[in-house]
Chain A
Amino acid sequence: MNDIRIDHKFIIEMIEPNSHVLDLGCGDGTLLDLLMKRKNCHATGIEIDEKEIYKCVERGVTVSHGDVDTGLADYSDKRFDYVILNESLQEILNPEKVISEALRVGKRVIVGIPNFCNIASRLQIFFLGQVPVTKGLPYKWYNTPNLRFLSIKDFRHFCAERSITVERERAIGLRKEVFFKRNLFAYIAIFLIRK
């Protein structure tokens, strides 16, 4: 259990056993594999990178080669118990549409975001006058895959404005969970939302 990424650990804890789960941007299928083994879930993924598809198939994950922006349209309403958008939201062209589609095909949606307004970023902007490069944001402006920059607070506002219920929110700092002043100290946040 120790070698499991902390964000994966939190996501696994949010998911009921025997659920149907769709992971958008599932990578090599690590998280879905864990969900199959530990929670007896029925796992499906969408992934854009061909190399990762082979690894997913090896793990026995049902996977579709395609992009997250359009891949959700194929599924019927409430087809999944959970739709996971972990570490992919910031790379999506149209996150608003993808979240609304995820809420359509999933009874619940789990969103994992990097917190761009972490204290390290704030200090770099303030003292260095440069776009921050931190643990959660390891890229330079010219090579970042990130299209969207948001904070924990931004995501809470996003949900509130659309009457999306946040059932759970967990935040992760450098090494462990953050309970206090999350928007300042957390690098990553995981939301469990529903409509």
Chain B
Amino acid sequence: MSENFVEPQFFTFAQPPNELVLKSGVKLGPVTLAYETYGKLNADRSNAILIFHALTGDAHAAGWQKGDKSPGWWDAMIGPGKAFDTDKYFVICSNVIGGCKGSTGPASINPATGKPYGLSFPVITIEDMIVAQKHLIDYLGIKQLLSASGGSMGGLMALKWAVMYPGTLRSSILIATNYRHTAQQIALHEVARQAIMSDPDWQNGDYYGKSVPARGLAVSRMIGHITYMSERSMEEKFGRKLQNKEKLGYDFSHDFEVEGYLKYRSDNFVQRFDANSYLYLSKALDYFDLAEDTDLQKAFKGVKSKFLIVTFTSDWLYPSYQSKEMVKAMKANNLDVSYIEIATDYGHDSFLVEIEGQSKLVTHFLNNVK
């Protein structure tokens, strides 16, 4: 294990009366962002790369914190000599607002009441998360990012950053993502939200210090996990294998390995994630539509970044055709966009596990960013 542990850092801003004005018009402040950095910012501050995490991710993208059993969630991609090479680049990752990993979210204490926000936390959007992170980048003294990147929700944030702050970004790497949430994506999230909200322990979001809506959150995570895998990867990993059994039990205890896996993963998740954050972040994703006020082609007007867009053949949650529509709209704006669909069975999770191909692409793409 590394002798240099990563330390989480915190940045607080938007102190009243200068609160953050959210897209909904509601004010939020003070706002704290938890973030980590890897590598060194160079003298002219031109080697910074902002990484955005996915729905249930956090600021701990790489390296080891004290007590870690595993490294950060994208450690395979970020580090010395890796795709996001921390010998060359200064890599920043921060937890989104609305999250529960150190940044201000529904589980945070509302300074006005001294109690956790719960459902009094305002509904936030992808745009609000980005505005908050722009404050962090300004605070770090970075005028222009070499790149912004992420998978899934992280990809969509990198995309929206390129549109909102065109002058601040030289390149964007968008992986397994979409420019808006579709009916299917919204529907899957809604089932997850209903699972949480129908847990009697949810108590309209006011469960802090009491028993948490663990069963509801576990069910929503199980749904999530199914959508992150592919039919084929599940078949290969589990098939019809039985768990701790020689034959079927003819009862409703777990028979199959896949059932045990979902329980194991969701139980872990409940330990580390706040149910209200899941509601807020999934809602933010569902609200996202890059073309909301206009058509997609016009949405890219004025964008300057060059793009690398990566999809995976077996990703049915964010299927390739959605990225292709985005590529088409970018090309219509004469943007410099490279697109690749990687053949893999790992489904939506590929952005976390299909490292070889992504590493080659990211390494070389970043080498060629001017």
Contacts and interface: CB of A to CB of B under 8 A. Distances in A.
A74 B327 contact: yes
Contacts of B360: 54, 57-58
Q: Which of A50, A57, A73, A75 has the most CB of B within 10 A?
A: A57
B338 A58 contact: no
* Chain A interface bracket (under 10, 10 to 19, 20 to 34, 35 or more): 10 to 19
Interface stretch (A62-70, A82-90, A153-161): A62-70
A64 B338 contact: yes
A75 B328 CA distance: 8
Contacts of B357: 54
B336 A76 contact: no
A171 B134 CA distance: 57
A186 interface: no
B172 to A, nearest CB: 14
Contact of B338 (A62, A73, A74, A75): A62
* Chain B interface bracket (under 10, 10 to 19, 20 to 34, 35 or more): 20 to 34
A64 B339 contact: yes
Interface in A42-80: 50, 53-54, 56-58, 60, 62-66, 73-76, 79
A66 B334 contact: no
B335 to A, nearest CB: 10
Contacts of A65: 339-341
A76 B308 CA distance: 20
Interface string A95-123: 00000000000000000000000000000
A74 B332 contact: yes
Given A57-B360, A76-B332, A50 B339 contact: no
B137 interface: no
Interface string B356-370: 010011001101100
Given A50-B343, A74-B332, A76-B332, A57 B338 contact: yes
Contacts, number: 52
B198 to A, nearest CB: 43
B364 A57 contact: yes
A75 B324 CA distance: 13
A77 B110 CA distance: 55
B331 interface: yes
B364 A74 contact: no
A116 B337 CA distance: 36
A57 B331 contact: no
Contact of B361 (A54, A73, A75, A76): A54
27 contacts: A50-B340, A50-B342, A50-B343, A54-B357, A54-B361, A54-B364, A56-B338, A57-B360, A57-B365, A57-B368, A58-B360, A62-B306, A62-B337, A63-B338, A63-B339, A63-B340, A64-B327, A64-B337, A65-B339, A65-B340, A65-B341, A73-B328, A74-B328, A76-B331, A76-B332, A76-B334, A79-B334
Contact of A50 (B306, B328, B341): B341
Contacts of A73: 328
Contacts of A56: 338
A106 to B, nearest CB: 14
A76 B360 CA distance: 30
Given A50-B341, A64-B339, A65-B341, A57 B361 contact: yes
Contacts of A58: 360, 364
Interface string A118-142: 0000000000000000000000000
A28 to B, nearest CB: 13
Interface in B316-364: 324, 327-328, 331-332, 334, 336-343, 357, 360-361, 364
B368 A74 contact: no
A19 to B, nearest CB: 14
A101 to B, nearest CB: 13
Contacts of B336: 62
Contacts of A74: 327-328, 331-332
Interface string B101-141: 00000000000000000000000000000000000000000
Given A57-B308, A57-B364, A62-B306, 15 more contacts: A50-B341, A53-B338, A54-B357, A56-B338, A57-B338, A57-B340, A57-B360, A57-B361, A57-B368, A62-B336, A64-B339, A66-B324, A73-B328, A75-B332, A76-B334
Contacts of A66: 324, 339
A53 B327 CA distance: 16
Interface in B21-37: none
Contacts of B340: 50, 53-54, 57, 63, 65
A63 B324 CA distance: 13
Contacts of B331: 74-76
A56 B324 CA distance: 19
B360 to A, nearest CB: 5
A60 B365 CA distance: 7
A13 B336 CA distance: 25
A164 B4 CA distance: 66
A137 to B, nearest CB: 30
A58 B332 CA distance: 25
